[in-house]
Structure 1
Amino acid sequence: MVRAGFLGLALWLGVMAGVSGQSREEAYRPFNGKDLSGWKLKGNAAKSHWKAVAVKLDPTNERAFVIVPDAQELWLCNVQGGGVDIYTEEKFGDIHLEVEFLLPKGSNSGVYLMGEYEVQVLDSYGKPDNKLTQGDLGALYGAAPPKKNAARKPGEWQKFVIEFQAPRFANGQKIAPARFRKVELNGVLLHENVEMKGPTPGGLTGKEAPTGPLMFQGDHGPVAYRNIIITPLK
């Protein structure tokens, strides 16, 4: 009886492990905290405003950043709007992503999984839940609005936790779509198990593939990113 009970428990734990999600590999930090090594630009490099700096809200203009000189910690910052997007040299499939971001008032950016599937970054602070759209903070752009508005005030750090499943291919044909298994903003669940019919407009290539980079949108407004942790899922 004891042995049978033990085997039953082991089988149940194994099933639950499969249900609860994939196991994780070693975490990877694509930003080294010093410079833009390991990153590429989408578009004309002369138009880029991405820098390894620290920033704060401009005391004379709440819609802008100013660079903090001699900062002890540097972030991946698009210091002003109208630039280009930036993406990792490294490519990934299924991942667990944690990333913190900072916005001035009214700013707009985006986190593109695999360079193609966007989680919207926007100053949506104070907007009622029943007014949220597919363009608000935490939306799967063009696919699904966030369930709740968990946006913090401009100038406050915010955090995404995202579990993403890459599209599946066999013999060169897509057999399963990309899927956001979970999107949390500041500890609030916004999405769960949402399929993506195709790439988000404005992505890196507009094509789907088994792997792709992490991309941050930089052609709209100022934004800063830090504590970027990518954990591939087996």
Structure 2
Amino acid sequence: MRETYGADVLIHLAPLWALPPLLDRLAGSGIKRILAFSSTSLFTKEKSGSEQERQMVSKLKKAEEDLQSFCTERNISWTIFRPTLVYSLGRDKNVTTIARFIKRFRFFPLVGAGDGLRQPVHAEDLALACLDAIDNPKTFNKSYNLSGGEVLTYRDMVIRISGHLGTKCKIIHIPLPLMRFALGWLSNLPGYQKITPEAANRINLDMCFDHHNAVSDINFAPRYFLEY
């Protein structure tokens, strides 16, 4: 962490659980402000049937607690952001994965109506939130859920992605057991390894989060989905 000496602000963008092992090395570095990213998966995957996902939630929880304790003991102001479904210009594991599937197979499977609500947030809006929070005392020692500027169903999200690609996509409705099997098979293909069958169980769930406190404190104004 030699690179931090002389800096007074740390913005941590890697998975949050990677930060606590480095905290002791920050002591005495002069850091007075830490902004870090967690995830709303902390809530949406807490009761997942996947042990891997539950372990991830446990790691996030512990990392948040460790960061807050470290900062409190050393009078360092912290802010934790928990984004929803993050997307960017082909560099994310969410919307980009759906887009890759549509381009490759020209169809997309859904369980039931696919009416679970989503609120994707653009990575650039998260970057702007960081910049607006750095010197803002209102954000000190607080956590924020950061969601996108538009709420849409999972089905509408898929259709929007297809339209953005200019690719015709047939929506196929399949039973949950078949979807879980398909996702298990898909996870063996390159580029889809992080998909788990548990994702099928969440297609029709509401996974939106209110971000009114971020609007109030940092004038957070996220864009509509796929609005560049």
TM-score range, shorter chain: under 0.3
User: Which structure is higher in RCO with an 8 Å CA cutoff and minimum separation 6?
Assistant: 1
Q: Which has the higher helix share?
A: 2
Structure-1-length-normalised TM-score: 0.21
Structure-2-length-normalised TM-score: 0.21
